[in-house]
Amino acid sequence: MSTPPDPDLWQLSVELALPEADEIELIFEDIQLTTSLVEVVPDGSRWRLDILFDHKPAHAFTDRIPDRFDYTLAPLEQRDWVSESQKQLPPVEAGRFYIHGSHDPAHKLSSKYDLVIEAGRAFGTGLHETTYGCLLALNRLKQKREIYNALDVGCGSGVLSLVMAKNWGRKVLASDIDPEAVAVTSENAAQNHLSPYIQAIHATGLNSRTIRRKSPFDLIVANILAWPLVALAPEMSKSLKPGGYFILSGLLSKQENMVRHAYALHGFHLVERFEVGPWNTLILKQ
């Protein structure tokens, strides 16, 4: 007997060239839960964009998809996505960081920063290119300076907050627009014995009394999307200490100039770039 679909979850899939993904994502940016890109052709010429929703999108949205795109929209099949994801996600090693699920053993070297992050309810296991780029950037930044006060905007699973706490042994403020991500971050902090270092809060962007009270920060990490990064540039620039650093991710290579320009208007320049697949992670400083 086939498993009935979950009526609360719908998935739209579109096959396209990578530069076209933004065009489709912008249509659904206000109602989507998550997006993912899967390479269809090994040479990278065709990709499949999957967008997940917590309800069936109205025709007002799907009618905006240009005729040149073929797409499917269907209820998402009920499956144990957590267990299946865990089977498919290998441990991630980036610099001193080693991130794995509880089904994998800890690293043999005690010098590694070993973190347990389960695949599941919030984005961020370390496997995605944007998260991996942030891990590389945090590893590099550890070699440059001490960090005393850090903010993780759009924390997801909290993996980057945990890495910062491990890296510098300091308290980290983690925020997310999704209450579920806030709960998962707190759970992961407890799982890794880092609860005293992590404060997870619900916030839209930097609109939070707690964020304002703890500003300015030495380091702000934001692994979100290109357009929100641009929109938050003025507010984030005011929340960073002179000489502080941004780590920005969630932007495709073709979106880098747009994001950098938004922060250059506030006096920030590129220190280093990490390219992982089609995604770029940037370290910026005034």
Rounded Cα gap, residues 75 and 78, in angstroms? 9
Residues 117 and 45 placed together within one structural domain of the fold: no
The stretches of 215-276 forming alpha helices (DSSP H) are 226-238, 256-264
Residue 19: is the preceding peptide bond cis (ω within 30°)? no
Residues 165 and 280 placed together within one structural domain of the fold: yes
pLDDT of residue 100: 75
Q: Does residue 6 surpass a pLDDT of 50?
A: no
Would you place residue 223 in the very low, low, confident or very high pLDDT band (cuts 50, 70, 90)?
A: very high
Rounded Cα gap, residues 46 and 39, in angstroms? 6
Last residue of a domain, one of 54, 79, 104: 79
pLDDT averaged over the chain?
86
Residues 118 and 240 placed together within one structural domain of the fold: yes
Rounded Cα gap, residues 64 and 26, in angstroms? 10
DSSP state of 126: S
Residues 199 and 88 placed together within one structural domain of the fold: yes
Last residue of a domain, one of 35, 51, 79: 79
Q: Where is pLDDT greater, at 122 or 107?
A: 107
Residue 177, classified by CB atoms within 10 Å of its CB into exposed (0-12), middle (13-18) or buried (19+), is middle
Token pair 């934001």: residue = 222
Q: Does residue 151 surpass a pLDDT of 90?
A: yes
176, β-bridge pairs: 202
Last residue of a domain, one of 50, 79, 108: 79
pLDDT of residue 106: 66
Token pair 């994502």: residue = 25
61-112 pLDDT, tens digit per residue, is 999 999 999 999 999 766 554 555 555 557 777 777 888 776 666 665 666 7
- Rounded average pLDDT over 29-49: 82
pLDDT of residue 18: 86
pTM as predicted:
0.69
Distance spanning both ends of the chain, measured CA to CA: 60
Residues 22 and 142 placed together within one structural domain of the fold: no
Q: Does residue 232 surpass a pLDDT of 90?
A: yes
Rounded Cα gap, residues 88 and 71, in angstroms? 26
Phi-psi region of 127 (alpha: psi -120 to 50; beta: other; left: phi over 0): alpha
Other C-beta atoms lying within 10 Å of the C-beta of residue 182? 21
- Rounded average pLDDT over 161-170: 93
Among the listed residues 133, 129, 121, the one whose alpha carbon sits nearest the alpha carbon of residue 158: 121
Token pair 């993996």: residue = 159
Q: At what angle do helices 226-238 and 256-264 cross, to 10 degrees?
A: 20
pLDDT of residue 127: 61
User: Helix, strand, coil proportions of the chain in percent (round to 5)?
Assistant: 35, 35, 35
Would you place residue 2 in the very low, low, confident or very high pLDDT band (cuts 50, 70, 90)?
A: very low
- Rounded average pLDDT over 130-150: 92
pLDDT of residue 4: 43
Q: Does residue 257 surpass a pLDDT of 70?
A: yes
pLDDT of residue 147: 94
Other C-beta atoms lying within 10 Å of the C-beta of residue 2? 6
CATH number at residue 130: 3.40.50.150
Domain limits for position 12: 5-79
Tokens encoding 216: 């300015």
